[in-house]
Amino acid sequence: MLVRRLYHPRLAQASYLIADSESREAIIIDPLRDVEPYLAAAAAENVRITAVTETHVHADFISGSRELADRTGGRLYLSGEGRGAWSYTDGYLADAGATLLHGGDTLRIGLVGISVLHTPGHTPEHLSFLVTDSAVAGEPMAAVTGDFVFVGDVGRPDLLERAVHVAGSADAAARQLFASIRHFADHADHLQIWPGHGAGSACGKDLSGVPQSTLGYERRYNWAFGVENEAEFVQAVLAGQPEPPAYFAEMKRINARGPGRWQDVKRPALVTPADIVEAVESGAIVVDIRPAPDFAAGHIPGTLNIPLNRAFLQWAGSLIPADSAITLIGDEAQLTDAVRDLALIGIDHVAGYAGPEVIEAWQRSDRPLEQVAHTTIPAVAAGIATGAVSVVDVRGAAEWDAGHVPGALHVPLGALRDRVAELPRDRPLVVHCQGGGRAAIAASVLLAAGFSNVAEMRGGMTGWRRDGHDVITGQDG
């Protein structure tokens, strides 16, 4: 048997190629919209993709399952469990020619057996796959668990309620997840866990960066396996879940009704500095993907800064409205990656892009660059004491409840563009997060929204605590 894990760091997402060494048949599980890496992996391993499947209707990226099946001639398998408002539509299933899978089914990939488990909780239709190398063993060696069991955590059961507003669904999903974990725990200790996500994904709250584990290890060290009481589990799994990125609801809709083809995504052209100037002056969304220090040192007024780092897609998906045409500014080596990654979450309308030379062109046209001001923790503390500043905390709700600056306003970064009207304009605004990454983005959002006196607090909440300043805990204050 042959196994390849294909990992996308900005989505913290893992797909799996599993093949039989003799027949050279292969299955791909949970492919992204860009199917080229799977085609390349199959060619490199000299295997044929004969089956494509996915663990559930994904919320954090557009699925490439149908396109990959179409391009390889492989059979498409999708979950037939948990049918409801947010499962695959009948029209998509019929149009794609998908074969429905249910718990207890088995797929054969040469001598490799893929047994289907229905593991609801994260979503009602969620499947996991037990992998057996029948050439050498009569029992499974691993489970592809998708968003069910991670290393150190389990999939969040609140997305249908919080992301797509299915009222009251979180509690019932948490109870389903509890039951799924209890059933899954009956498998052997040596069963390897091959999860769909790692650290940085918003599909759980405390995922490990370790790529795989074993069930025996998770039973001992994953908190979810140690809670025996259902009510205690429900309370624990729902507590402290991060705010879901705004784009999750749209991803659910796209994947349930059938995504468009990767081949149909238009690639933008390099545009001139004059085009960038026109875009900014017309009020179009222009995103500067350079590192935060470069943006802070000098940028075109009105542009947003979403650095092309591991959190790029989370914040792009939260801050860029769906179907908006955008223009990118950044180093040419990064722009191709940025355009590709944006398309993975459905932001297909990149009208154009330009390199950093547009910054110089702006200056040559006698227009001033804008900078992001920074301030120190002692200066912020003094400003709070005299009422001279307003502090805006852009962290998540769980972080806020665990401790925040007295008198601060709480507006999570993902909601900031929609809530700028709530912020005062009669005094300077100081933004902060835990360490600085989110605050840098927030400062750019506020400057682009017309706030003229914005500063980022260096050191964030980590520094505030370290310096011994007062901290308020809970939802109030």
pLDDT means over runs of 10, the chain (477 residues): 97 98 98 97 98 97 97 98 92 97 98 98 98 96 98 96 91 98 98 96 91 98 98 96 92 92 81 82 91 96 95 95 88 88 92 89 87 97 96 96 96 95 95 96 96 96 96 78
Amino acid code (one letter) for 458: R
- 50 in helix, strand or coil? strand
% helix / strand / coil in the chain, to the nearest 5? 35, 20, 45
* Residues β-bridged to residue 213: 193
Q: What angle is formed at CA 349 by the lines to CA 440 and CA 8, rounded to 5 degrees?
A: 60
For residue 218, what pLDDT is reported? 98
For residue 324, what pLDDT is reported? 84
- Do the first three CATH levels of 265-364 and 373-466 match, i.e. the same topology? yes
For residue 477, what pLDDT is reported? 55
φ, ψ for residue 65, nearest 5 deg: -60, -50
For residue 129, what pLDDT is reported? 98
- 422 in helix, strand or coil? helix
Distance CA 55, CA 59 (A): 12
φ, ψ for residue 75, nearest 5 deg: -80, 135
For residue 417, what pLDDT is reported? 93
> Token pair 């011994």 is at which residue?
468
For residue 142, what pLDDT is reported? 98
* CATH superfamily for domain 265-364: Rhodanese-like domain (3.40.250.10)
What is the reported pTM? 0.94
Are the beta carbons of 189 and 215 closer than 8 angstroms? yes
Task: Give the residue ranges of DSSP H helices in 324-459.
Answer: 332-344, 357-364, 377-386, 397-402, 437-448
Indicate the CATH number of 2-257 among 3.60.15.10, 1.10.3720.10, 3.40.30.10, 3.40.50.261: 3.60.15.10
All structural domains of the chain with their residue ranges:
2-257, 265-364, 373-466
For residue 476, what pLDDT is reported? 59
Measure Cα distances from 196 to 58, 127, 155, 171, 193 in Å.
11, 12, 10, 23, 10
User: Which element (helix H / strand E) includes 219?
Assistant: helix 215-221
Q: What angle is formed at CA 92 by the lines to CA 164 and CA 17, rounded to 5 degrees?
A: 90
* CATH superfamily for domain 373-466: Rhodanese-like domain (3.40.250.10)
User: Which element (helix H / strand E) includes 232?
Assistant: helix 230-238
Distance CA 147, CA 150 (A): 7
* Residues β-bridged to residue 14: 7
φ, ψ for residue 129, nearest 5 deg: -130, 120
Q: Count the Cβ atoms, other than its own, within 10 Å of residue 229.
A: 10
Are the beta carbons of 16 and 213 closer than 8 angstroms? no
